[in-house]
Amino acid sequence: MPPSERRLIDDCFLHDKDRLRHADALAILKARVAPVVGTETVPLARAAGRRIAQTVTAPRAVPAADNAAVDGYAFAHADHAETGGFFPLSQRIAAGHPSDTALPPGTAARIFTGALMPQGADTVAMQEDCETHVQDGLDFVIVPQGLKPGANRRRAGEDLAAGAGLVTPGQRLRPQDLAAIASTGTGEVAVYAPVRVALVSTGDELRRPGAPLPEGGVYDSNHFLLRALLEEAGAAITDLGILADDSSLVHDTLREASATHDMILTTGGASRGEEDHLVTALDALGTRHMWQLAIKPGRPMNFGQIGDCVTLGLPGNPVAAMVCFLLYVRPVLAVLGGGPFPEPRRFQVPAAFSVPKKKPDRREFYRGTLDTDGKGRTVVRKFNRDGSGLITGLREADGLIEIPEEATQVRDGDLVDFLPFSELGLTAG
């Protein structure tokens, strides 16, 4: 093989300048991936976390009519001056039991939270602020001065006007979205089917927890990392287990899985070592769209397709596997599943660490933990050990610190980009 060609495929000899930059990798993913899943209708009780596949509009106003925001006494504000706040009680109105008569002028109604305001009343005094009084066997209430007209009254439509749109197709339904849909009376919704993902670990050294570990063995922690990340992203997972470092086994497994899945997610065997068979199998079976990124960690990350099935190959090192999942796999899952390409927000936070010498031409992601300095300012600390095998650093982190290609150092106090895990779809523990 001539040296020029060799340079293109051998990651050890490839300079970061010749590797694909992070932004270009995202652009390739954006350009190549399209929604693939169908839709199904589910009751609201099973819709949490699903991607909605329709618009939902409010068929009627919410609340449907003016009602009391507190337990107390409803009256016409204009009557207060005339009565001096001394109102005979003319009716009692509980939630779910609207009054069929208007409020007689100069009187007040005993009312409870959520009960419809009687016609003629516009203001509610809280029961804690009122005094009741019995005179000649009749009930009165003394309402203090100073309430504004309309106080403690909820207006019809103040939450949702009739016809208001509630959700955007593709968005994942959060608890508060389900509450809004339910409040309009809609009981079932069309959602996108989960993305079907085949999950594969590769490596002769790997064993599943629970099995004895031979000399030189390593437990397959990535399977559990990735399975949980996929579950958080709403995917339907097929566990294809651990593949030995055997080219025909890797080839046959990828070919079979591609026929019945929307995505194959592999971990390990992604470099060009003699025992790394993934890229060779991908090249033989389909098309590779990217490999060799100018990032750290995660350089050998790859992306391609076998027929209509997307393949994403993560490095075997746990830190690289998690970082690459969050940066590249998560957006692909979102788009395949009918959602928008996620654009996580970055926050500029002062660094409570320094990196005297950073290699230019590559983007680096450190595990970052938020902290408070002596002056009460939020700062970010960097996990103090390198090594992409250290799961400990992932556990301590609140997110990723992102250092751009052109940076050659980070000084204590410099503002750095911080990507909280919450922006990357992970819920706090």
- Residues contributing to the site for ligand AMP (CB under 6 A): 201, 203, 205-206, 218, 220-223, 267-271, 315-318
Q: Which residue has the tokens 């993913």?
A: 29
Q: How many residues does the chain have?
A: 429
Nearest-angstrom CA–CA distance, 242 and 201? 5
Is the CB of 203 or the CB of 313 nearer to Mg ion? 203
Tell me which of ligand AMP, Mg ion, none is bound by residue 339, counting a contact when its beta carbon lies within the kind-specific cut-off of 5 to 8 angstroms.
Answer: none
Shortest distance in whole angstroms from residue 344 CB to ligand AMP: 25
Is the CB of 88 or the CB of 389 nearer to ligand AMP? 389
Shortest distance in whole angstroms from residue 219 CB to ligand AMP: 7
Shortest distance in whole angstroms from residue 54 CB to ligand AMP: 39
Residues with Cβ < 8 Å from 283, sequence gap 6 or more?
none
Tell me which of ligand AMP, Mg ion, none is bound by residue 271, counting a contact when its beta carbon lies within the kind-specific cut-off of 5 to 8 angstroms.
Answer: ligand AMP
Q: How far is CA 132 from CA 35, 99, 110, 161, in A?
A: 64, 21, 11, 37
Residues with Cβ < 8 Å from 273, sequence gap 6 or more?
none
Is the CB of 76 or the CB of 242 nearer to ligand AMP? 242
Q: Hey, is 262 helix, strand or coil?
A: coil
Kindly tell me the sign of the dihedral angle through the C-alpha atoms of 351, 317, 329, 23. positive
Contact 379, 411 (CB under 8 A): no
Residues with Cβ < 8 Å from 114, sequence gap 6 or more?
67, 68, 95, 96
Is the CB of 76 or the CB of 270 nearer to ligand AMP? 270
Tell me which of Mg ion, ligand AMP, none is bound by residue 127, counting a contact when its beta carbon lies within the kind-specific cut-off of 5 to 8 angstroms.
Answer: none
The H-or-E segment that residue 260 falls in is: helix 247-260
Shortest distance in whole angstroms from residue 398 CB to ligand AMP: 23
| Interface ranges with Mg ion (CB under 5 A) | 203, 268-269
Is the CB of 121 or the CB of 320 nearer to ligand AMP? 320
Both tokens of 2, joined, read: 């001539």
Is the CB of 99 or the CB of 266 nearer to Mg ion? 266
Shortest distance in whole angstroms from residue 389 CB to ligand AMP: 6
Shortest distance in whole angstroms from residue 259 CB to Mg ion: 25
